[in-house]
């Protein structure tokens, strides 16, 4: 079983909305679910550097006021090219502010959208997203 360390963030804009994204069908580990932006840490990369890089890659945003808020893990199965792989995913989750406004989804994201906090309960989230928003009292 492979282990991946994932950094992700609840990013807020000036209106207090939260940024969520959805990958294209058949991309990623959690299919047909909304998630907060983030991704895997590269070997030798510092956690905050990895978070900033992943947010920039996925959203084209720069972030500031980064604070750790939660951690969790999940074991999931990924099927790719007909092969099945079990993956242990360790999630390091942060809260931050969008420093820029030039939002642009990466190639593997179908869409990104700003959502009012009160509406996050209306979205089908990834299992780690569910845990995070329950922890924060938003589910």
Mean pLDDT of 9-37: 89
Nearest to residue 23, comparing CAs of 34, 14, 12? 34
Domain boundaries defined on the chain: 2-135
pLDDT in tens, 112-125: 999 999 999 999 99
Measured from the Cβ of residue 125, the count of other Cβ atoms closer than 10 Å reads 20
Q: What is the mean pLDDT of the chain?
A: 92
Query: Do residues 61 and 100 lie in contact, with contact meaning Cβ atoms separated by under 8 Å?
Result: yes
| Residue in this structure with the two tokens 């510092």, named with its chain if needed | 46
- Domain 2-135: CATH superfamily is Nucleoside Triphosphate Pyrophosphohydrolase (3.90.79.10)
Per-residue model confidence (pLDDT) at position 114: 97
Integer Cα distance of 59 and 57 in angstroms: 6
Look at residue 71 and give its three-state secondary structure: strand
Q: Sort 72 into a burial class: Cβ within 10 Å, 0-12 / 13-18 / 19+.
A: middle
Residues 6+ away with beta carbon under 8 Å from 19: 11, 12, 13, 36, 37, 59, 61, 98, 103, 112, 113, 114, 115
Tally DSSP H helices, then E strands, for the chain.
2, 7
Nearest to 5 by CA among 33, 35, 45: 45
- Read off the pLDDT of each residue in 38-66 and give the average, rounded to a whole number: 96
Look at the pTM and tell me if it is higher than 0.75.
yes
């Amino acid at each position: 079983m492979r282990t991946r360390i994932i950094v992700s963030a609840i990013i807020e804009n000036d209106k207090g909305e939260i940024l969520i994204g959805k990958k294209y069908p058949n991309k990623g580990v959690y299919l047909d679910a909304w998630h907060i932006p983030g991704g895997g840490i590269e070997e030798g990369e510092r956690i905050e550097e990895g978070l900033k890089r992943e947010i920039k890659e996925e959203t084209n945003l720069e972030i500031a006021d980064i604070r750790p808020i939660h951690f969790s893990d999940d074991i999931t199965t990924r099927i790719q090219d007909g092969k099945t792989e079990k993956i242990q995913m360790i999630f390091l989750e942060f809260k931050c502010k969008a420093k820029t406004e030039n939002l642009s989804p990466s190639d593997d994201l179908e869409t990104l959208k700003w959502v009012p906090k009160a509406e996050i309960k209306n979205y089908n989230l990834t299992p780690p997203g569910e845990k995070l928003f329950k922890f924060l009292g938003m589910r």
